[in-house]
A and B are shown apart, each in its own frame.
Chain A
Amino acid sequence: MVLKLYGFATSTCTLRVAVVLKEKNVQFEFIPVDLTKGAHKAPEFTAYQPFGQVPYIDDNGLILYESRAICRYIAAKYASHGTPLLPTDPTAIALFEQAASTETSNYDPFVSGLAWELKFAMWFGGKTDEARAKSLQSQLSAKLDIYDLILGKQKYLAGNDITLADLFHLPYGAVLLDIGLDEFSSRPNVARWWKDISSRASWEAVKGGI
């Protein structure tokens, strides 16, 4: 039975899983969950994803949520398919986890906060908190200065090979660029890395929505 991805066509976390599925050439069925009608808070949904968030997958009865956990599962299960995205050597795994944790602590809180304030709040009847957006932007800016140093010494965040950690950055990075917030171009190493990961066929295939 084909893997089922439950999500929203253009949701960042749904696209995070979709880009990895594409990168690993894994077939999947997309089942839309209408966030605008609160489908993600309905009992039929929260029975599987108790936090009421997209996405989750159903892989032949295995229910999994948290997009980064889903991505790790896909990368491990299909290790020999498509692009290798998860190392197996202990040292390489450690460097990967360092890069993945960097995305979680030093990127995601700022980009997701900005995406909410500047775009998604309005979808749900809210308004931009300009002060919060300004604060998040300057924090993001400082973090990306460090990214620029790291990426000046190596091609990708975990070393010289691409891993899930790089791909994790795509969905929110794209949202910010879409709304005119470009913190990448002015940082040469970040710009080079962003161009590399965002021009992959897997991202081109899903970035406009599933």
Chain B
Amino acid sequence: MAIPDENIHPIATGNAAKTVAEHQAKQDLVFYSGWFCPFNQRVWVSLEEKGIPYQYKEVNPYKKEKHFLDINPKGLVPAIEYQGRALYESLVLCEYLEEAYPNHEPRLLPVDPFERAHAQSTEQQDAARQELYDAQRKLAQQVKGPYFTGKEFGLVDVANAPWVAREYILAEHRGYDGTQVGNGWSEYAERLATRESIIKTTSDEDKLQVIYDRYLRDEAQSEVAKALRAGRPLP
């Protein structure tokens, strides 16, 4: 029987479609992307923020191309191909982009080694609503403003932005109420949500909704969904 998740809208839409159109030309760096995936959006946002030249290739998670699997056997997105070799893991990729393109601004990680290590250890995972509010409150407390480390948009903002962009789904379906968080969270979230690189990598809501409906009904069959159900670490 065909996996229902296979029926994903195959391509990016809305603003993201235009961004895809702008990245068709062959480049040294190929970005293998799943348009709907929040982990994927972290890397996409980093690429857009830093203006790194990339060729965009859509990967259907249930129909992966041979070349993609040849260089990236785990077959997960996001992934990057550079000179025939692949890298994956969203935060590893974000950090790679930082190091490989040091002259592309903005820097998303502090240059100072201590600050850099501190930024890399501050990640927020999804949690139950109160845990989520607690987590967001703690995060918001550490936001120096306007962004996490202060004036400059950085990697912690990139890491959190895709989830902020999906908060409306929690609001509509899980009673999430951003005003309950306090500590300046709503304002911080608003700044992330309106960041140009987030807008440019977001597809139409109705297409995203099809995917998240499956998560809301706990019917999703992605590796992430299975891991969440089993209480395993995310792939």
Interface residues of A (CB under 8 A from B): 8-10, 32, 35-36, 118-119, 122-125, 178-180, 208-210
Contacts and interface: CB of A to CB of B under 8 A. Distances in A.
B18 A123 contact: yes
A36 B24 CA distance: 10
Given A8-B24, A122-B12, 17 more contacts: A10-B24, A32-B25, A35-B21, A36-B21, A118-B10, A122-B11, A122-B17, A122-B18, A123-B18, A125-B18, A178-B58, A180-B10, A208-B26, A208-B57, A209-B25, A209-B55, A210-B26
A209 B26 contact: yes
Contacts of A180: 10, 60, 63
B10 A178 contact: yes
Contacts, number: 40
A172 B58 CA distance: 17
A26 B64 CA distance: 32
A210 B63 CA distance: 23
Which applies to chain B's interface (DSSP): helix, strand, loop or mixed? mixed
Interface in B1-39: 10-14, 17-18, 20-22, 24-26
B25 A123 contact: no
Interface of B: 10-14, 17-18, 20-22, 24-26, 55, 57-58, 60, 63
A125 to B, nearest CB: 7
Contact of A9 (B10, B14, B18, B26): B26
Nearest 10 A/B pairs, CB to CB? A122-B17, A123-B21, A9-B25, A10-B24, A179-B10, A9-B24, A180-B10, A36-B21, A36-B22, A122-B13
Nearest to B16: A122
B99 to A, nearest CB: 27
Contacts of A209: 24-26, 55
Contacts of A125: 18
A180 B12 CA distance: 14
A125 B21 CA distance: 11
A32 B23 CA distance: 12
Contact of B11 (A8, A9, A119, A210): A119
Given A180-B10, A209-B55, A124 B26 contact: no
Contacts of A210: 26
Contacts of B11: 118-119, 122, 179
Contacts of A9: 24-26
A121 to B, nearest CB: 9
Given A180-B60, A209-B55, A123 B26 contact: no
B120 to A, nearest CB: 34
Nearest to B8: A180
Contact of A36 (B10, B18, B60): B18
Contacts of A208: 26, 57
A125 B17 CA distance: 8
Given A9-B26, A209-B24, A123 B17 contact: yes
Contacts of A122: 11-14, 17-18
A28 to B, nearest CB: 15
22 contacts: A9-B25, A9-B26, A32-B25, A36-B18, A36-B21, A118-B11, A119-B11, A122-B11, A122-B13, A122-B17, A122-B18, A123-B17, A123-B20, A123-B21, A124-B18, A178-B10, A179-B10, A180-B10, A180-B60, A180-B63, A208-B26, A209-B24
